[in-house]
Structure 1
Amino acid sequence: MIVERAYAHVDGEGPGEYPWSVPCVRQLLREGLRFTAPVTFLVGENGSGKSTLVEAFAEAFGLDPYGGSHDWQYASHRTKSALGERLRFDPAAGGRQMMRSWSARKGFFLRAETALDALRRERMAPDERSHGEGFLVAFRDKFTKPGLYVMDEPESALSFGSCLELLGHIDQLTRAGGQIVCATHSPLLTALPGADIVEVGEHGMRRVAWEELELVDHWRRYLGDPRAYLRHIVG
């Protein structure tokens, strides 16, 4: 693993100001977040703050907040977030050398909405590939070295089969020394054996088992009887 703990200290900002008003951010300020496995999934509803967290993690590690690697930091001129400016990491044993030098840090930030553009910019995905294909090509051919890989909803461009392929690439990357922090809505991805799952919501952050996730329960119920949900929504 590369990083062991994320934390931030904030002075002067009121509790009602974004992002300090978000429950998971408030908990991060109080307690920090310890990483206990090579793969950490952040799961929660839209607006829960999971994307706010992963963007700050990427920024604090020196990755381009638009999406990209350390080598392209701020090439997009995207403003660094308030949380990203204040976030710090405690290195894990395997990441101490990388964390000592800003230029030695390796990894990539994949945002769902900018992933293909960022990959093409860094010549990691051929122009003729689709969004999902380019994503998988990058994992297969380029994401092979130790580093911190931060992802925000990577499943948005992938089919069921491609999500399974992505899990295989994630497993290979962690075996090569990579660490992954991923925000997701996917019950398929979060089922990865050995992954740490952090559920984000009004409660803040809490670790849960896969079978206890609300999203897993909802998908199981929906696939078992779609009409039980659709009768409240459709006609």
Structure 2
Amino acid sequence: MIVERAYAHLSSHDEDAWPWSVPCVRQLLDEGLRFTAPVTFLVGENGSGKSTLVEALAEGFGLDSYGGSHDWRYASPRGKSALGERMRFDAAPRGRRMATSWSARKGFFLRAETALDALGREGLSPDSVSHGEGFLAAFRGKFLHPGLYVLDEPEAALSFSSCLELIGHIDRLAKEGGQVICATHSPLLTALPGADIVEVGEHGMRRVAWRELGVVDHWRRYLADPHAYLRHIVEP
């Protein structure tokens, strides 16, 4: 493991203001978030706060908030988020070196909305391939060394088979000493054996088994009988 626990402490704050009012952020402030496996998936509805968490985790580790690799220093004009500025880690020795030394740092922050621009700045020429292939170029060319890899909904541009390829990259990284923290809606990705799954929502954060995930149950029932859902949405 590289990062064993994330936490943040504030001397003063407005509990009714964003992001401190988000339940998962409140729980992070109160209890921290412990990482128990090399791969952690954060799963929740839009607006649950999972992207807020992964961005702050990347920033706290020293990865650019815009997205990009450990080699990409001061790439973005935007500063750290309010939570990212306060993010701290309990880490293994090599994790502490990475978090405090730019030269020792290894990792990548992939955020769906800026990924192609970030990859272009890093010389991967994503404009010459499809959106999904541009994402896969990052996985093939940048997910190479043990480090901290933070992903925000990487499945957004990927087909079913490409998601399976991504699972292979994540599994290889974990077995070679890397650590992955991924916010996702994908029941494909979260099925990775041995991964820790944290469900984010109004309850805050809680660990669940893959079969207990709401998104898994919904996909299973939808594929079995789409009409059971669509009859409430599509006019006859």
The verdict on a shared fold, with TM-score over 0.5 as the criterion, is yes
Could you say what secondary structure the match of 1:164 adopts? helix
After TM superposition, list the pairs within 5 Å mapping 1:1-235 onto structure 2.
1-235=1-235
Q: Which moved more, 1:13-22 or 1:172-181?
A: 172-181
Shift of 1:79: 2.6
Shift of 1:135: 1.5
Conserved? CA contact 2:62–2:99, under 8 Å: no
Conserved? CA contact 1:65–1:73, under 8 Å: no
Could you say what secondary structure the match of 1:13 adopts? coil
Code of the residue aligned with 2:78 in structure 1: it is R
Number of matched residues? 235
Shift of 1:131: 1.9
Distance of 1:94 and 1:12 partners within structure 2: 32
Conserved? CA contact 1:66–1:74, under 8 Å: no
Distance of 2:176 and 2:132 partners within structure 1: 23
Q: 1:58-97 CA deviation, whole Å, 9 max, x = no partner? A: 0001111011123324422123100000000111255244
Gap change, CA 1:202 and 1:169, over 3 Å in 2? same
Task: State the TM-score, normalized to the length of structure 2.
Answer: 0.95
Distance of 1:138 and 1:31 partners within structure 2: 34
Code of the residue aligned with 1:49 in structure 2: it is G
Could you say what secondary structure the match of 2:179 adopts? strand
Q: 1:94-125 CA deviation, whole Å, 9 max, x = no partner? A: 52443352431111100011111111111134
Code of the residue aligned with 2:72 in structure 1: it is W
Code of the residue aligned with 2:120 in structure 1: it is R
Conserved? CA contact 1:40–1:195, under 8 Å: yes
Could you say what secondary structure the match of 2:124 adopts? coil
Q: Report runs of 4+ in structure 1 exceeding 3 Å deviation.
A: 124-127
Distance of 2:88 and 2:113 partners within structure 1: 26
Q: 1:172-199 CA deviation, whole Å, 9 max, x = no partner? A: 1112211100000000000000000000
Shift of 1:223: 0.6
Conserved? CA contact 1:197–1:209, under 8 Å: yes
Query: Structure 1: any 5+ residue segments left out of the alignment?
Result: none
Q: 1:125-175 CA deviation, whole Å, 9 max, x = no partner? A: 443122211221221233110110000000000000100011011111112
**TM-align CA RMSD:** 1.3
Query: Structure 2: any 5+ residue segments left out of the alignment?
Result: none
Code of the residue aligned with 1:161 in structure 2: it is S
